[in-house]
């Protein structure tokens, strides 16, 4: 096994492994150590069945069965897999993740990590961006860190741009499955002990106890600061790539830089994280 960095901020490629074969415990431990160090790991040239993808991902944490997702987005034969492609949900076209976010932050069990395996790609485009939220926190001024550390932010799935165009029925169904939650703005990684910024433009309309208008300026600054180019990695996909990332210290975004009729299809697993956050128990301030 050989590991080479992909960018200065985060990301590394792991060479010399065939993930269709069961890994030894020592190999899994080495991958986990590299994952904690680099946050995003890339394995190129893999040939995996859905079951092999599930088995590999499950070596790092229990896998979610995605009960909080519409059936149209789940794999028909494997509840542990999401099919990441343009889909119809209640008759409306839905495309995954085209705003910065951390997976399942809008639940009280945010995802520990995710794996994504590439099946089909458009002729050009379809890249994914990742940002290092350790660096986002550590490069804030000490004064701003002291202001932010005790705060919580609302994480609301329907805050995203896709829902601005959604029908009322689809939005209400999403809120019934996933009511908004409060999460700490400063998240301490349970394995590394490092602090990470935990807000994202898709999910966060306001801070707890503050109106959207009061929150807007600071949140917009944090969204822009956290995704500065020097904090980012751009994944240029190839068919057969498998990527795994740590949701506890990264955010990511799929780029809509390809024709709407082009095929882009990947399979995703979601690793179950530790409990975090609580349901919003107050109405938004006017």
The pLDDT tens digits for 186-219 are: 999 999 999 999 999 999 999 999 999 999 999 9
- Provide the H-helix boundaries in 62-202: 133-138, 142-148, 161-164, 168-177
What is the spatial distance between Cα 124 and Cα 240, in angstroms, rounded to a whole number?
Answer: 16
128-147 average pLDDT score: 98
Neighbours of 207 (CB within 10 A): 20
Answer with the residue of higher pLDDT: 260 or 242.
242
| pTM of structure | 0.92
Which residues, 6+ apart, have CB-to-CB distance to 105 below 8 Å? 111, 155, 183, 198, 200, 203, 247
% of the chain at pLDDT higher than 90: 77
What average pLDDT does range 264-270 have in this prediction? 95
Q: What are the structural domains of the chain?
A: 2-279 (3.60.130.10)
129 token code pair: 């961006």
């Amino acid at each position: 096994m050989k590991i080479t960095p992909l960018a200065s901020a985060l990301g590394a490629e792991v060479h010399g492994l065939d993930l269709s074969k069961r890994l030894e415990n020592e190999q899994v431990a080495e991958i986990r150590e590299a994952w904690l160090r680099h946050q995003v790991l890339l394995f190129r040239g893999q040939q995996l069945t859905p079951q092999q993808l599930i088995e590999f991902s499950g070596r790092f944490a229990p896998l979610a069965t995605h009960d909080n997702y519409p059936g149209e987005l789940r794999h028909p034969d494997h509840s542990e897999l999401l099919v990441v492609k343009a889909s119809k949900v209640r008759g409306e076209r839905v495309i995954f993740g085209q705003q910065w976010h951390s997976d399942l932050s809008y639940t009280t069990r945010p995802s520990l990590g995710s794996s994504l395996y590439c099946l089909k790609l458009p002729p050009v485009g379809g890249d994914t961006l990742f940002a290092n939220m350790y660096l986002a926190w550590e490069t804030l001024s000490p004064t701003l860190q002291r202001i932010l550390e005790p705060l919580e932010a609302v994480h609301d799935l329907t805050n995203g741009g896709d829902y601005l165009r959604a029908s009322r029925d689809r939005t209400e169904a999403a809120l019934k499955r996933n009511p908004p939650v409060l999460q700490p703005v400063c998240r301490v990684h349970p394995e590394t002990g490092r602090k990470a910024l935990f807000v994202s433009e898709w999910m966060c309309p306001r801070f707890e106890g503050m109106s959207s208008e009061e929150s807007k300026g600071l949140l917009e600054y944090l969204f822009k600061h956290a995704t500065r180019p020097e904090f980012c990695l751009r994944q240029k996909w190839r068919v057969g790539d498998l990527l795994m990332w740590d949701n506890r210290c990264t955010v990511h975004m799929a780029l809509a830089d390809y024709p709407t009729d082009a095929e882009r299809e990947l399979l995703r697993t979601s690793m179950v994280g530790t409990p975090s956050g609580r349901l919003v128990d107050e109405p938004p301030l006017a």
